[in-house]
Amino acid sequence: MKFLSIVVSTVLIAACAEFDSGTSQIELADESGQRGLSYTYLSGGTANHRLPEIMGGGVALFDVEQDGDLDLYFLQSGSLDEQSEDHANKLYVNNGSGQFDLLEAGDASRNLGYSMGVAVGDINNDTLPDLFVTQLGSNVLLLNEGENQFRDITDSAGFRLEDWSTATAFADFDRDGDLDLWVVNYIEWSEAMEPECYQMMLGSRDYCSPSHYNAPAQDRVFRNDGDGRFVDMTRSAGVLGSKGNGLGIVTADFNDDGLLDVLVANDTSPNNLWLNQGDFRFVDEAAVWNCAVDQHGVARAGMGVVATDLDDDQDQDVMIVHITTEPDYVFRNEGDYFRDITAQVGLSIHTQRYTRFGLIVDDLDNDGWLDVFEANGAVTRLSKPHRGDKFAEPNSLYRGTPEGRFELIEHSDAINTSRGAAVGDVDDDGRLEIVLVDRDQPAKLLVNQSHSTGRWLMFDVRDSAGKPAIGASVSLEIGVRTVTRVVQRASSYLSSRDPRLHYGLGDADSVQNVVVRWLGGATQRFDSLDANQIVSVREGDS
């Protein structure tokens, strides 16, 4: 068995002399203005209350230049009536210290249309991350040509489709070394079909539920043929004919067979769990795996979704957030089905209070236990609006405990209509930040200012071509625990996260028995690593 060769970055935080996980506090402060961010997401909301106006707001955290730090790409919707060139997507480039500069990025900086979500991935193995932008209308594929410049190659790549697409993810579904693409669609919507819905308590017009349209949409899956084109495999992959109101997506090897599967969170229609059969074929096993509907057989309003190992058993569990009155889903992976453990982890009561979209499940205070951040905002007008925003709700923050529960510790003082959220370490200090998109309000960079934090490790895991190795995992021992994280980009709601793996270590000054498992089952390992460093790993290095 080969031993792993690693590259270790400079230690960025001095080790804590002592850490008390029982007294740690999570402190997130909006520093968007100080950091150079001045972006505002515009929904184009009107008195007509057309459904797309309440749904958008994606964001990507990614390293556009491959210079080692995270940059930001914000998506703009604008107006359904008349698009303006001012309503363009925006690229903010990190100068290396967590400060951002707005740069002109070629086609990525023009008005692409009514944008919704984004996937990040290197489609041609040139080490530069490319962008796929979902929209109400034609989606857009943007090729990274270096020096922060992108070119629209949608037509030549074979993507000119007219859908209302939302969540999306790049992943190598056939294990041929390049990234394929899954596109989630929401509703077969048009202006002409928009119904009139009314808020009975307020006696006036409001946004409709997706169930009023009775028009669930067909998701699509594309195979990367390796020469710049994507082939629509929806029919031959077995996906055609299974429609839903899709809003969230994660990719993971849920059944541990070495193939990446797909979970789609649907809004008022049953969720899909597409298990990869090989040969680019998928079977929806959501009903068998107990994640299609709730215990009463009712489909919930699925929005943001995260896959991660919640219980340290080295497989991928799932969390999905919903509309007000519906609790979160927390599904524990039992190997061949999911067990609903929402009540056991303490999220069945508090989460019902608000409508949740963006979802972060990461260790925000580095105490070794995963925390939960939920980006909240209503979809129907509230009877007591906050400062004139009829949909604004406080975001929610839950601190993870050693007992496997989540404790509500804070509702944010900043109350807005929040949507997309992405997580990553923008200043490489070992503490995770959250980028938050609010409807018709300036975006927020929530900088982690937690003072009582533990030690940490991060891993930058890349395949033989040099791109983040989606689906690869790193397991390591922290004391008596074995903690596993899997490389992902698609997560939360309409957003793309930092693909680097982050581990809070509490007061541990090192980890042992580190095992890197590549998609397909090959492993590499080394004995121990000291805390407070970023470790770079590349497949095939000896």
Cα 400 from Cα 338, distance rounded (Å): 21
pLDDT at 203 (0 to 100) = 74
Is the pLDDT score of 245 beyond 50? yes
The distance from CA 194 to its chain's CA centroid, rounded to whole angstroms, is 29
- Cβ burial, residue 158 (10 Å; 0-12/13-18/19+): middle
* Of the listed ranges 68-72, 126-130, 386-390, 468-472, the one predicted with least confidence: 386-390
pLDDT at 317 (0 to 100) = 98
Counting residues of the chain whose pLDDT is more than 70, the rounded percentage is 95
Give the residue-averaged pLDDT of 153-165: 90
Phi and psi, residue 353, nearest 5°: -70, -30
16 pLDDT tier (thresholds 50, 70, 90): very low
pLDDT at 363 (0 to 100) = 97
Counting residues of the chain whose pLDDT is more than 90, the rounded percentage is 87
- Cα dihedral 115, 155, 174, 261, rounded to 10, equals 20
pLDDT digits over 252-274, tens only?
A: 999 999 999 999 999 999 999 99
Cα 110 from Cα 352, distance rounded (Å): 39
Cα 369 from Cα 190, distance rounded (Å): 45
pTM of the model: 0.95
pLDDT at 162 (0 to 100) = 86
Give the residue-averaged pLDDT of 408-431: 91
pLDDT digits over 433-467, tens only?
A: 999 999 999 999 999 998 878 999 999 999 999 99
pLDDT digits over 473-512, tens only?
A: 999 999 999 999 999 999 999 999 999 999 999 999 999 9
Q: What does pLDDT average to over the chain?
A: 93
Reported as half-sphere exposure (CB side, CA atoms, 13 A), residue 529 has a value of 31
Give the residue-averaged pLDDT of 354-375: 97
Is pLDDT larger for residue 84 or for residue 114? 114
pLDDT digits over 398-407, tens only?
A: 999 999 999 9
